[in-house]
């Protein structure tokens, strides 16, 4: 008897659930429209991205040349010091060798700060590009009735018709051609926090 009651109760529950889905207030929402964008392509192939990359490479090359020149100076100075070792005496030689070592360490620390400053400058430039991209994403989503934008790298399978990278790239290229990459000293960030 209990089994029959359970079956009847389950049937009523099922009917009630089906009846609720027919009520206009509970109508199913339309499915999400997912748009796909290749963010990597935007940040490497757009006009502004190529500009940022070129600026960073040029500044990095300058830093590398400066580093090589200074390091060669330390090597030459070390050689001369070694050649003069007997003339200077042990104590003076050790003192000058220690001074040279400290200056080299200071130079290396300085180069690391300069590279960090360049990386921070690059990140800031990319943030400026992202600020221009946000309204472009909103505009393209509205145009296509999109509800979400996903990076192509996170999509395992999907229709090519949902990929709006070319459209977003065109709008970005029209609205932003360049942005200045200015190195930012990491110590100023700590002071601002």
Look at residue 192 and tell me if it is in a domain.
Answer: no
Look at residue 84 and tell me if it is in a domain.
Answer: yes
Percent of the chain with pLDDT over 90: 61
Cα-based distances in Å from 18 to 15, 25, 40: 5, 14, 46
Q: How many domains does the chain have?
A: 1
The sign of the torsion formed by the CA atoms of 120, 41, 56, 130 equals: negative
Cβ atoms of residues 52 and 118 within 8 Å: no
Of 102-106, 113-117, 152-156, where does mean pLDDT reach its minimum? 152-156
Which structural domain range is residue 136 located in?
A: 2-185
- How high is the pLDDT of residue 161? 67
- How high is the pLDDT of residue 187? 83
Look at residue 191 and tell me if it is in a domain.
Answer: no
State the DSSP code for 181.
-
Look at residue 79 and tell me if it is in a domain.
Answer: yes
Look at residue 193 and tell me if it is in a domain.
Answer: no
Q: Quick one: which of 54, 192, 62 has its CA closest to 125? A: 54
- How high is the pLDDT of residue 32? 80
Look at residue 44 and tell me if it is in a domain.
Answer: yes
Model pTM above 0.85: no
Angle between helices 165-175 and 47-83 (to 10 degrees): 70
CA distance 133 to 139: 10
Beta carbons within 10 angstroms of residue 159's beta carbon: 9
Look at residue 151 and tell me if it is in a domain.
Answer: yes
pLDDT in tens, 42-83: 999 999 999 999 999 999 999 999 999 999 999 999 999 999
pLDDT at 38 over 80: yes
CB neighbour burial string for 23-40, b if at least 16 within 10 angstroms, e if fewer:
eeeeeeeeeeeebbbbbe
- Residue 116 exposed, middle or buried by CB count within 10 Å (0-12, 13-18, 19+): middle
- How high is the pLDDT of residue 98? 95
């Amino acid at each position: 008897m209990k089994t029959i009651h359970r079956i009847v109760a389950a049937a009523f529950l099922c009917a009630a659930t089906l009846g609720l889905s027919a009520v206009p207030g509970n109508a199913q929402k339309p499915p999400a429209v997912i748009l796909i964008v290749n963010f990597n392509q935007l940040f490497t192939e757009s006009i502004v991205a190529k500009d940022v990359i070129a600026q960073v490479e040029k500044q990095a090359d300058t830093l590398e040349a400066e580093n090589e020149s200074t390091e060669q100076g330390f090597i030459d100075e070390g050689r001369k010091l070694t050649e003069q070792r007997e003339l200077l005496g042990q104590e003076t030689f050790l003192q000058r060798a220690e001074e040279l070592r400290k200056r080299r360490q200071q130079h290396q620390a300085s180069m690391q700060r300069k590279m960090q400053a360049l990386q921070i400058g690059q990140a800031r430039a990319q943030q400026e590009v992202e600020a221009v991209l946000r309204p472009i994403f909103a505009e393209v989503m509205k145009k296509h009735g999109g509800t979400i934008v996903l990076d192509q790298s996170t999509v395992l399978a999907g229709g090519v018709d949902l990929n709006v990278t070319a459209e977003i790239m065109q709008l970005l290229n029209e609205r932003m051609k360049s942005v200045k990459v200015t190195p930012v000293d990491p110590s100023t960030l700590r002071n601002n926090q």
